[in-house]
Amino acid sequence: MLDKIVGSAMLVAASVVFLYYTIWTLLMPFVDADHPLQNFFPPRVWAVRIPVILILLGSAVVGSFLSVVMIRSNRKKAAKAAAVAAQANKKKA
C-alpha cells in the first residue's frame, strides 16, 4: 500500500514539474514582460542552466558510483589473487 502512495506522489510531483517547466519555456516567452504572471517564473536563462546543472550533477554521481564499484571489485580480485598465491607458496614449502 505504501509503495502505491509513494509511486503516486512521485508521479504527481514529476507531472507538476513537467507542466511548470513546459509553461515556463514554451508559453511564457509569448507573455508580456510586465504581466503579473511573469512573477511566478524565474528568468528564462535559468531554463537552460537548471537542466545543465542537473545533468552535470547526475553524471558526477553516476561516475563516482561506478568508480567506487570498480575500485572495490579490483581490490577483491587482488585479495583473491594474493590468497591463491599464498596458498600456492604454502604447498611448495
pLDDT level of residue 58 (50, 70, 90 thresholds): very high
Which of 48, 44, 17 is CA-nearest to residue 33? 44
Cβ atoms of residues 15 and 21 within 8 Å: no
* pLDDT score of 64 more than 80: yes
Give me the pLDDT at residue 92, please.
72
| CA 64-15-34 angle, 5° bins | 105
Express each pLDDT in 9-54 by its tens digit. 999 999 999 999 999 999 999 999 999 999 999 999 999 999 999 9
- Please give the Cα distance from 88 to 80 (Å, whole number): 12
Under a CB-based contact definition with an 8 Å cutoff, are residues 29 and 44 in contact?
A: yes
| pLDDT value at residue 68 | 97
